[in-house]
Amino acid sequence: MTTKPEAQPKPSALGGQQLVNAAEVPDARQAPVRVAPIAPRRVPITGPNRPPLPREVKGGPFGTRVTTGFPDVALTFDDGPDPDWTPRILAQLRAYRIKATFCMIGLNAAQFPQLVRDIAADGHTLCNHSWSHDMGLGLRTAEWILQDMRRTNDAIRRAVPNAKISYYRQPGGAWTPGVVAAATRLGMSSLHWDVDPQDWRKPSASSISFTIISATRPGSIVLLHDGGGNRLGTATAMRSILPNLVGRFHLAALPPGVDPPRLFGRDLPLHAGQT
């Protein structure tokens, strides 16, 4: 016996909620709806309507990077690549001409090298997310941590030779000084986030959308997942997240460089192509 789906809260563009029947929510497994690309609108950085300056760039645990350092918003995707969900996420980003950052598990990169190539071919920034999503990695020896990170970078570069891997993200955000030091030694910035819808818990698409739409501000780094389980909720939520954020911010991949340059002790904007 089946029951009629219950109405679920859905965020509106104004940050409130409205009810939508669950049966009406698009299924990301169906044939994708053709969406006319929308040119991203760059947020003005001067003038009377200038947005507030982003929060401290390195305000995350142990000095990890928590904002972009400039008004651009960065979408990041963890735990892939995944043959079921990564292609869907890539197609959605492509429809809106958005570049993002993909934090890849080494095991998955080794198993699905073509997906790594697809991510790189679309111009997205590459990020190391450990070999096997070991949330206790930071408690291991310095040499163990280095070998884990190197092994992951090697898997990514077997798929994309000479790939620039500028960032490392610790699974579960379980940062330690040892992890940050190892990433720095290998030329990677430690990448945290400031918007987390906890989509890894598989909440409803409307919950994911509401959290991101209401919490994202200029300079935000948004945490999402394209792997690690069933990501139907994330893929469905992207249908409302992308048009909303594109209308309010300029979305860009984190630049493929290690850290923003500094002048008089302050981080300066680092845009795509700078290293």
Cα–chain center distance at 210: 17
11 is a domain residue: no
> What pLDDT is recorded for position 182?
97
Comparing C-alpha atoms, which of 250, 253, 225 is closest to residue 237?
Answer: 225
Tokens at 44, concatenated: 């003005």
The 10 Å CB-count burial string (b at 16+, else e) for 127-155 is: bbbbbebbeebbebeeeebbebbebbbeb
With contact defined as beta carbons under 8 Å apart, do 149 and 132 qualify?
A: no
| Residue numbers annotated as active site | 78, 225
> What pLDDT is recorded for position 272?
40
> What pLDDT is recorded for position 186?
97
2 is a domain residue: no
> What pLDDT is recorded for position 28?
42
Q: Label residue 256 by pLDDT band (50, 70, 90).
A: confident
Total of domains in the chain: 1
| Sign of the C-alpha dihedral computed for residues 87, 89, 92 and 96 taken in this order | negative
| Sign of the C-alpha dihedral computed for residues 230, 105, 102 and 116 taken in this order | negative
Mean pLDDT value across residues 96-124: 99
Tokens at 112, concatenated: 């699905």
Mean pLDDT value across residues 34-44: 38
161 is a domain residue: yes
Q: How far apart are CA 225 and CA 133, in angstroms?
A: 13
252 is a domain residue: yes
Mean pLDDT value across residues 202-216: 98
| Sign of the C-alpha dihedral computed for residues 198, 40, 90 and 31 taken in this order | positive
With contact defined as beta carbons under 8 Å apart, do 58 and 266 qualify?
A: no
> What pLDDT is recorded for position 42?
38
> How is 124-151 classified by DSSP, letter by letter?
PEEEE--SS--TTGGGS-HHHHHHHHHH
With contact defined as beta carbons under 8 Å apart, do 254 and 123 qualify?
A: no
20 is a domain residue: no
> What pLDDT is recorded for position 54?
52
Q: Label residue 57 by pLDDT band (50, 70, 90).
A: confident
Phi first, then psi: what are they for 211, rounded to 5°?
A: -60, -45
Work out the number of other CB atoms within 10 angstroms of the CB of residue 211. 20
Q: How far apart are CA 146 and CA 20, in angstroms?
A: 48
Which residue range is the domain that position 239 belongs to? Answer: 70-259
31 is a domain residue: no
86 is a domain residue: yes
Mean pLDDT value across residues 249-262: 73
Residues 6+ apart with CB under 8 A from 203: 197, 233
Tokens at 12, concatenated: 């509106």
Q: How far apart are CA 114 and CA 92, in angstroms?
A: 18
Comparing C-alpha atoms, which of 95, 94, 92, 72 is closest to residue 237?
Answer: 92
Tens digits of residue pLDDT in 159-185:
999 999 999 999 999 999 999 999 999
22 is a domain residue: no
* pLDDT reading at 84 higher than 80: yes
Tens digits of residue pLDDT in 23-38:
333 444 444 434 344 3
* pLDDT reading at 10 higher than 60: no
Q: Domain containing 89 — which CATH number?
A: 3.20.20.370
What DSSP element (H or E) covers 262? strand 262-263
